[in-house]
Amino acid sequence: MTGKLILVRHGETEGNVAKILDTRLPGLPLTERGVAQAKTFGSNLAAPPLRLFSSEALRARQTGSYIEAATGVPLEVLEDLHEVQLGDLEGLNTREAHETFQDIYHSWHFGDLDTQVPGGESGRDVLNRYIPALERLRDEYLTDSDAGDIILVSHGAAMRLVSRELTGVPRLFAANNHLDNTETIELLPFSDGVWECTRWGRYPAPFGDNIEPTGDDPMG
């Protein structure tokens, strides 16, 4: 059995609190609560990860830095693992803007990957930049039977979309279940390139479709 890839949503940000659609790099910083969440996540790990990575976004780098402080594992920042880019919706906090994105995002989970956020990315755009980066991590660090876990601090909407595509988690489950700050999706790689999702936020595998929607908080 190899190690897992543990995707961690960053800690709470000023954008989350203000319900701002904040996706453009570098983005808004963590709140005091977000800092506390990151510190708690790092201190609660049963063992240090083999490697620690984050996206380029400020909130992910800050979260990763507190995990680094708790574990002693140096943080490495990677390209292509940032949040879905929202284009014309960037910086908005209106109900209309949130509903526009949620409608598009849910359509991605049900196979309409070429629908594009106005002025931003399509679901296929996100997958085409994000999945190759995960495959590089798998090939470099997760091929040995005694490999440890890899932690990657990233972003909720991108993590959910990519994980559903890689593992075949039920579409309704993935579309309806957002991740709280510093919650994780855990992916187990196999030698044939297949991934299995072993945990999604508060839920361990197996996952079912009969899950009531949770209220999506702002992007990030």
Specify the pLDDT at position 147: 78
Overall size of the chain counted in residues: 220
Q: Flag residues of the chain having pLDDT under 50.
A: 218
Task: Tell me whether residue 99 is one of the annotated catalytic residues.
Answer: no
**Per-domain residue ranges of the chain:** 5-204
Specify the pLDDT at position 110: 93
Q: Nearest to residue 179, comparing CAs of 122, 210, 130, 217?
A: 217
Contact predicate 185/201, CB 8 Å: yes
β partners of residue 22:
none
- Name the catalytic one among 12, 68, 83, 121: 83
CATH of 5-204 given 3.40.50.1240, 3.40.50.300, 3.40.50.11810, 3.30.565.10: 3.40.50.1240
- Name the catalytic one among 10, 82, 155, 178: 10
Give how far the C-alpha of residue 128 lies from the chain's centroid of Cα atoms, to the nearest Å. Answer: 15
**pLDDT tens per residue, range 91-125:** 999 999 999 999 999 999 999 999 999 999 999 99
Specify the pLDDT at position 208: 80
Angle CA 7–155–133, to nearest 5? 60
Specify the pLDDT at position 113: 98
What is each CA distance from 125 to 116, 192, 205, in whole angstroms? 9, 24, 28
DSSP, collapsed to helix, strand or coil, labels residue 25 as: coil
Task: Tell me whether residue 83 is one of the annotated catalytic residues.
Answer: yes
Q: Is 29 left (phi over 0), alpha (psi -120 to 50) or beta?
A: beta
| Cα distance between residue 200 and residue 151, in whole Å | 15
Q: Residues 184, 190, 191, 193: what is their CA dihedral angle, to the nearest 10 degrees?
A: -70
Q: Nearest to residue 82, comparing CAs of 118, 130, 122, 47?
A: 130
β partners of residue 122:
116
Radius of gyration (C-alpha) of the chain in whole angstroms: 16
Q: Which residues of 203-218 are buried (b: 16+ CB within 10 A; e: fewer)?
A: eeeebeeebeeeebbb
Specify the pLDDT at position 75: 98
Angle CA 26–86–163, to nearest 5? 85
